[in-house]
Amino acid sequence: MNGFVDAKQITLMGIALAIGLLIGAERGWKSREAKDGERIAGLRTYGLTGLLGGGAGLLSQYLDAIVLGFIFLGFSITVATAYTVQRNNSEDASITSLITMLLTFILGVFATLEHVDLAASIAVLTAILLRYKEALHGWLKKLEKKELHAALQLLLISVVLLPILPDRGYGPWQALNPYEIWWMVVLIASISFSGYFAMKIAGPSRGVILTALAAGMASSTALTLHYARLSQKQETMRNLLAAGILLACGTMFPRVLLVSSLINPALFSKLLVPMSVMMAVVLLSSLVIWHKKAAQTPAKMTHLINPLELKSALFFGALLVLVILLSKAAIDYFGEAGIYLMAMISGIADVDPINLALSRMSTSDLSVNLAALGIVIAASSNTLVKALLASFIGGPGLGMRVLLPLLAASAVGLTTAWLM
């Protein structure tokens, strides 16, 4: 070992100390009212733990790495013994402080082994998790069984299944890439999952408008059907329900822009103006109708159906595969006209599969301009379908409020895209 310590090592030990003090500040703040000797560890103890881990990390570089293991083992036994004694004198059975002490030691080791970014990031996340204990426990108490199942399903299709899928083409035209198709399923599922919890956090008491905002991220078509049926029973709420339908439909356009841009950033500049114009027409119409609403308290809204059932994810994947194959066939046999026809037909059912398919194809064998126009056609087709649903199911009263703005948005969007 050298006879001196260089500046770099001093800096790394300082970082190890800072990590310990950061975590210790949170722990010490929580137990700041306790008297000396009544808490297992405070600011100084965590700071020293960070230094101890840092020192052990430095020693492992000069001596055998097994030294680090023995130091950590001895420290773990010491902390566990102190925790056991302290727990016997109190009713607190939590082992959070014990785990935090061991983690602080490890982060100190990481710091002096020059994994500074990793150690600092974990330290900040640790402090945040410790600080928001009550909020996290409150969220857990509000979590429903179906929501937990949905979260686990999302983790299953993203963390477990996605990495093991092959990332190469199969089938006709080598068009089917299992990894990319499943990644798109995960993308749509994640957006829908976020929309569901946006509604969950806001609560139905917020009324029609917040429900419409959440539905725009999940399924504006489903919300259109729901509000159209509701308008038959709540005639005095037609202005409010129409505003909600238009708001959900308007929210769809930035969602389409976001998804397509994530897959192919080149599409952003091509779709920005058409999608923005369509959104502006619909949202301005929603705002006008909103100001004409009857001054009544909205009826209680039902929650959106959780979109993360595994059957729904598999159905979406199958639909996406079909759209990709039909799009490839349309290009092969009919050229550009086939893409436009396919976009219009697909948009009747759902805009997401054709959006994902064309966005993916625009990265390889389809021009960005052609893909962008196809996406606008699909969005316009889907918008017109929702206008017709509102008119036929909700009746003339709701239809006249919704039909004209959606028709105008489709016409303006198509014209803008064609000119560009």
| DSSP state string for 101-161 | HHHHHHHHHHHHTT-HHHHHHHHHHHHHHHHTHHHHHHHHHH--HHHHHHHHHHHIIIIIS
Residues near 32 by beta carbon (within 8 Å), at least 6 away in sequence? none
Question: Encoding tokens for residue 263?
Answer: 């897959």
On the question of pLDDT at 316 being above 70, the answer is no
SS3 272: helix
On the question of pLDDT at 92 being above 60, the answer is no
What does pTM read for this prediction?
0.52
* Alpha helix positions (H), 264-300: 266-291
CA–CA gap between residue 250 and residue 60 (Å, rounded): 60
CA–CA gap between residue 219 and residue 15 (Å, rounded): 48
**Could you tell me the pLDDT band of residue 279, with boundaries at 50, 70 and 90?**
very high
For residue range 12-33, what is the model confidence (pLDDT) as tens digits? 888 888 888 888 887 777 655 5
For residue range 194-243, what is the model confidence (pLDDT) as tens digits? 656 655 665 544 556 666 776 666 667 767 777 777 777 766 677 777 88
Give the angle subtended at the CA of 63 by the CAs of 61 and 65, to the nearest 5°.
70
Once rounded to an integer, what is the mean pLDDT over residues 243-260? 87
